[in-house]
Amino acid sequence: MLSTLYQNDLKKKRNRRRNRSAALVCCPQKEGSVLKPRIVTPKKPNSARRPVAKAKLTNKKFVVAHIPGTGHNLRKHSTILVRGGGCRDLPGVRHTCIRGVSDFLGVRDKTKRRSIYGIKRPPEMAKRVRRKFRAIFGQ
C-alpha cells in the first residue's frame, strides 16, 4: 500500500537525533561569563554537594555547567569555557566547565590526569631526552 504524505513526514521526524547540548550550536566549546556559582544536590540514590555555575554564553544563551575537581575560584562575572556533557545525576546540568582556561584555574596539587584538571607538566616530571639526541641538545 502507498503511504500518505503525513506518514512519510512522520518517518523523517522519527529518525532525527536529539542534540544533547543545543546551547553550543554545533561548536565544541563556547565561552561565557558566570552569573551565579552555586551548590546543588544530586538525584535520589546519590547524596553529595556538587558545585555548578549558571553562565551566559557568547551566543546569549544561558546554561548550567558542572564544575569538575575539588575547589574552584569562580565568582560572578568570571570568564569560563564550557563544553558539552554534564553530570548524570544532576538534572538540568548538560555542560561542563573546562579547567585551566581563562579565569578558571586548574586543581592544585594534581599529578595524575592533569589534562582533565588543567595543570601544566611540573619540572620534576620533565621529559627525558633520548641518548641519541643528548649530544644535540647538550645534556
Q: What is the pTM of this model?
A: 0.77
Note the pLDDT tens digit of each residue in 97-113. Answer: 999 999 999 998 888 88
pLDDT at 81 (0 to 100): 96
Q: What is the pLDDT of residue 86?
A: 87
pLDDT in the model for residue 14: 65
Residue % of the chain over a pLDDT of 70: 87
The residue assigned the cell 500500500 is: 1
Span 49-98, pLDDT tens digits? 999 999 999 999 999 999 999 999 999 999 999 999 989 999 999 999 99
Q: What is the pLDDT of residue 133?
A: 64
Mean pLDDT of the chain: 88
Taken in order of first residue, the domains within the chain and their CATH numbers are: 19-120 (2.40.50.140)
Q: What is the DSSP string of the chain?
A: -PPPHHHHHHHHHHTPPPPTTGGG-S-SEEEEEEEEEEEE---TT----EEEEEEEETTS-EEEEE--SS-----TT-EEEEEE---TTSTT--EEEPTTBTTBPPPTT--SSHHHHT-PPPGGGPPPPPGGGHHHHT-
